C-alpha cells in the first residue's frame, strides 16, 4: 500500500508541476566535484507588468492579472502555504486550497492550481489537450480511469479533463487543464471525499478567464538568428550549471519591452536583463501589421529536454 501511495504522490507532482521528461532524454551532465546550490528565483525588468507567480487571494477569490483569471474559492476551503518558485522547466504552483473536516480533523479534499509554460516544458506536449492526453496514457494499471481524456466547457472555456482513482487507498484525482497565454493552466482536485470534489468542480463554473485579452501574442521560438537585428550576449561571470528560462515581450518595433527571468541567481538576472534590453528584432507581422508578442529563450546550461523547447535560445 505504501508503495502505491508514494507512487500516487510522485505521479501527482509530476503531472501538476510538469517536471517529467520525455522518454529517451537525459539531463545534461554536471562535472565531477560540482555541487548545485539552491537559490535561483524569478526576476523581471520592471515591477508593473503582471507575472504568473503574482496571483493573490482576496474577498473569497483567487485573482491572477497575468492570466486575467478570477477563481472563486469553494465555500469552506482555505488557502494553503505558498508553493515553490517557478522551476527551470517553466512550472508554477499558482495557489492551493484544502477542505478541512473539523469533526474528523482531516483534509477531505484539495485543489492545486498550476501553470506550465509551454515554451520551456520538459514534456513534448504543445498544448493543454496534449498534456491531458499524455497524462491519460501514463496512468498505471493500479489506478482506475473514471473519466478521460474528455473535452468539457467551463465558464465558456474549453478544458480537457482526466479523472482517475486508486481503489486501494481510496483517493481520486480530477485534472482539468486549459490553454492560456502559451501555458497549460491546470486545476488538480484530489481527495477521498467525492462529494467535496464534486463541489469543488462545480465551483469552477464561476471562473472568469476570457477567451481573448489584450495580452501579447505567443510566438514560440521567435527570438532566433533570422529575426534578430541587434544582439548583445549576457556575460555570466560564474558558471552555476543551471538552466535559465526567460520570457520576453517584443513590441511592434522589434524592441524588447519586458523581460521575465523565470529562474536564475540575482547576478545572472542582472546580466540577462541588461543584455536583452539592447536587443532589436524584426517586427512580428499579423496581416501585414506589426504586433506585440511574447516569446521564450533559454540561457545557462541547457538540460536535454529544454534544447528542443526554445528554438534560437542563447547558450552561454
**Which tens digit of pLDDT belongs to each residue from 34-90?**
555 568 999 999 999 999 999 999 999 999 999 999 999 887 889 999 999 999 999
Domain that holds residue 74: 2-206
Domain total in the chain: 2
Spatial contact of 108 and 101, defined as CB atoms under 8 Å apart: yes
Model-level pTM?
A: 0.84
In this structure, the answer to whether residues 23 and 55 fall within a common structural domain is yes
* H or E element that contains 6: helix 2-17
Grade residue 11 by pLDDT with cuts at 50, 70 and 90. very low
Q: Of 180, 206, 232, which closes a domain? A: 206
Tell me: pLDDT of 301 over 90: no
**pLDDT tens-digit series, residues 88-115:** 999 999 999 998 877 777 788 999 999 9
Task: Please tell me whether residue 71 adopts helix, strand or coil conformation.
Answer: strand
Confirm whether 212 is domain-assigned.
no
Q: What are phi and psi of 197, to 5 degrees?
A: -65, -40
Query: Which residues does residue 296 pair with via DSSP β-bridges, in sequence order?
Result: 247
Residues 77 and 197: their CA atoms lie apart, in Å, by 11
Same-domain status, 12 and 142: yes
Residue 160 pairs in a beta bridge with 151, 177
If residue 110 lies in a helix (H) or strand (E), which one and from where to where?
Answer: strand 106-117
Amino acid at each position: 500500500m505504501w508503495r502505491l501511495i508514494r507512487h500516487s504522490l510522485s505521479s501527482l507532482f509530476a503531472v501538476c508541476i510538469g517536471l517529467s521528461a520525455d522518454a529517451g532524454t537525459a539531463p545534461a551532465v554536471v562535472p565531477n566535484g560540482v555541487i548545485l546550490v539552491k537559490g535561483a528565483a524569478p526576476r523581471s525588468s520592471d515591477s508593473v507588468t503582471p507575472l504568473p507567480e503574482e496571483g493573490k487571494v482576496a474577498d473569497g477569490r483567487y485573482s491572477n492579472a497575468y492570466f486575467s483569471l478570477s477563481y472563486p474559492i469553494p465555500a469552506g476551503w482555505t488557502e494553503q502555504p505558498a508553493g515553490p518558485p517557478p522551476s527551470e522547466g517553466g512550472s508554477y504552483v499558482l495557489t492551493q486550497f484544502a477542505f478541512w473536516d473539523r469533526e474528523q480533523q482531516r483534509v477531505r479534499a484539495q485543489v492545486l492550481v498550476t501553470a506550465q509554460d509551454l515554451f520551456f516544458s520538459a514534456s513534448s506536449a504543445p498544448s493543454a489537450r496534449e498534456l491531458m492526453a499524455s497524462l491519460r496514457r501514463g496512468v498505471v494499471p493500479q489506478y482506475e480511469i473514471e473519466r478521460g481524456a474528455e473535452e468539457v466547457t467551463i465558464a465558456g472555456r474549453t478544458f480537457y479533463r482526466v479523472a482517475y482513482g486508486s481503489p486501494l487507498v481510496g483517493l481520486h484525482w480530477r485534472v482539468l487543464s486549459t490553454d492560456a497565454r502559451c501555458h497549460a493552466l491546470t486545476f488538480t482536485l484530489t481527495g477521498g471525499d467525492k462529494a467535496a470534489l464534486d463541489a469543488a468542480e462545480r465551483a469552477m463554473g464561476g471562473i472568469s478567464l476570457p477567451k481573448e485579452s489584450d495580452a501579447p501574442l505567443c510566438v514560440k521560438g521567435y527570438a532566433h538568428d533570422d529575426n534578430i537585428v541587434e544582439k548583445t550576449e549576457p556575460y555570466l561571470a560564474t558558471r552555476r550549471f543551471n538552466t535559465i528560462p526567460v520570457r520576453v515581450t517584443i513590441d511592434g518595433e522589434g524592441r524588447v519591452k519586458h523581460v521575465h527571468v523565470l529562474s536564475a541567481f540575482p547576478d545572472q538576472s542582472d546580466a540577462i536583463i541588461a543584455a536583452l534590453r539592447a536587443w532589436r528584432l524584426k517586427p512580428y507581422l499579423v496581416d501585414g501589421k506589426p504586433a506585440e508578442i511574447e516569446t521564450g529563450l533559454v540561457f545557462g546550461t541547457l538540460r536535454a529536454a529544454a534544447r528542443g523547447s526554445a528554438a534560437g535560445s542563447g547558450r552561454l
